[in-house]
Amino acid sequence: MTLLEQPNEPIAVSSLKQPDSRGHFGPYGGSFVPETLVGPLQALTEAYDKFSEDPAFQAEFDEDLANYVGRPSPLYFASHWSKKLGGARIYLKREDLNHTGAHKINNTVGQILLAQRMGKSRIIAETGAGQHGVATATVAARCGLECVVYMGAEDIQRQAANVYRMRLLGAEVVSVHAGSRTLKDALNEALRDWVTHVDDTFYIIGTVAGPSPYPRMVRDFQAIIGREARVQIMEQEGRLPDALVACVGGGSNAIGLFHPFLDDADVALYGVEAGGEGLSSGRHSAPISAGLPGVLHGNRTYLMQDSDGQIIETHSISAGLDYPGVGPEHAWLHDQGRARYVTVTDDEALTAFHEVTRCEGIIPALESSHALAYVRTLASELGPDKVIVANLSGRGDKDVSTVARLEGIEL
């Protein structure tokens, strides 16, 4: 039934209307940056607002998604795994089949079109696991733009193959030795680069965090995931799903899947944070589940921090979830109660990793394995007449050596 048929029902402000004009999702988001970046962010906002309304821009974006990224990505009914779990019918949104192996490319394809229209000649990015770095280096190579990727020294050790991949693509990979030498420090260093080279440089942020307009812009580019899933589940099941499940580090794959369903109150949304060695161990990356609101990297959101407001080191088996913050829209969806945020541990993610690999012949990324681990719980809770769509946000090739090492095998 549509709203028009229910004239007496109060019309809630659509969740799709967030953020406000200055990038606030309720108390979250915003633009907390040094003065030098205020002007460039305003220019970026104006350019994005202009081009996102431009049919020619949209057509070029759609064309690249179709023929370069390989969209639409399939919505695959995981019949074997569903049967094994004996609960709900599980569908996997196959972002792992995209060019470069994850959802990250949806966003970089969009942002680089904007960079070109803004006349920028140099691209910078931060990366954790290396997936966003590879996706950025990929589109920069294709567009013939100089590309510098900042990566924590620790992550460079963990993800050597992706580092080499970026270098093959012509990007310069800069090792960041400050702080905890992981993703958050790479972000700091990329921001420092941007402050220094604001005139010719476009900063492609890889997730739905950072100062406004990034959380909105990255969400809009990633929302193709949910728009496709919506059409595909209607084709295959003839109805909307009962639940969506996605892993949340910064949260771009989750927002991409969730966003087109926000106004469908009957579709439950589950964001899965990295529980690491368990919340009680303190060694995790679950700011919504175990952190407090604060300001980092240009936005207000839930953060892993100590009583003095210092950001604390995070832990996850998956480098892509090893981040102390989360996108501000997730913080807001959590407070609103629209989405539920849960955690799974490293071990639970690994169990799901192996199970889906053996059951379905799909090797998922360790990040995505967190979503899959929660699906194992949810499927039996919901029962066989329910439908779950989980975001298989990336493929696990990059994680094969990590998993092997855990089993005592050096590749």
What's the closest the beta carbon of residue 221 comes to another protein, in angstroms?
A: 24
Out of 15, 31, 318, 393, the active site residue is 393
* DSSP code per residue over 269-281: EEEEEE-TT-GGG
185 binds another protein (CB under 8 A): yes
CB closer to another protein out of 118 and 195: 195
What's the closest the beta carbon of residue 32 comes to another protein, in angstroms?
A: 5
297 binds another protein (CB under 8 A): yes
CB closer to another protein out of 143 and 295: 295
* DSSP code per residue over 122-168: EEEEEESSSHHHHHHHHHHHHHT-EEEEEEEHHHHHHTHHHHHHHHH
Whether the Cβ atoms of residue 351 and residue 373 lie closer than 8 Å to each other: yes
Selected from 295, 347, 351, 401, the binder of another protein by CB under 8 A is 295
Whether the Cβ atoms of residue 31 and residue 280 lie closer than 8 Å to each other: no
Q: What residue type is 378 in one-letter code?
A: L
309 binds another protein (CB under 8 A): yes
* Token couple for 291: 């952190």
53 binds another protein (CB under 8 A): no
Buried b (16+ CB within 10 A) or exposed e, 184-200: bbbbbbbbebbbeebee
Selected from 16, 59, 160, 292, the binder of another protein by CB under 8 A is 292
Out of 31, 93, 126, 329, the active site residue is 126
Selected from 168, 178, 234, 406, the binder of another protein by CB under 8 A is 178
What's the closest the beta carbon of residue 129 comes to another protein, in angstroms?
A: 20
**Rounded Cα gap, residues 179 and 398, in angstroms:** 25
16 binds another protein (CB under 8 A): no
How many Cβ atoms are within 10 Å of 410's Cβ, its own excluded? Answer: 6
The number of angstroms, rounded, from the C-alpha of 217 to the middle of its chain's C-alpha atoms is: 13
CB closer to another protein out of 22 and 239: 22
Which span (51-59, 185-193, 243-251, 401-409) binds another protein, by CB under 8 A? 185-193
**Rounded Cα gap, residues 113 and 111, in angstroms:** 5
Q: Is 104 a catalytic residue?
A: yes
CB closer to another protein out of 42 and 281: 42
Across-strand partners of 389?
A: 91, 244
Based on its alpha-carbon atoms, the radius of gyration of the chain, rounded to whole angstroms, reads: 20
CB closer to another protein out of 37 and 163: 37
121 binds another protein (CB under 8 A): no
CB closer to another protein out of 29 and 327: 29
Beta strands in 172-291 (DSSP E): 172-176, 201-203, 243-247, 268-274
Which span (234-242, 246-254, 286-294, 369-377) binds another protein, by CB under 8 A? 286-294
Size of the site for another protein (CB under 8 A): 40
* Token couple for 260: 């087109």
196 binds another protein (CB under 8 A): yes
291 binds another protein (CB under 8 A): no
- DSSP strand pairing (89-94 vs 75-77): antiparallel
**Rounded Cα gap, residues 403 and 401, in angstroms:** 5
What's the closest the beta carbon of residue 26 comes to another protein, in angstroms?
A: 14
Which span (32-40, 143-151, 337-345, 389-397) binds another protein, by CB under 8 A? 32-40
Residue 237: partners with Cβ closer than 8 Å, 6 or more residues away: 89, 387
Residues designated as active site: 104, 126, 393
Query: Interface residues with another protein (CB under 8 A)?
Result: 22, 30-40, 178-179, 184-185, 188, 191-192, 195-199, 292-298, 300, 303, 305, 307-312
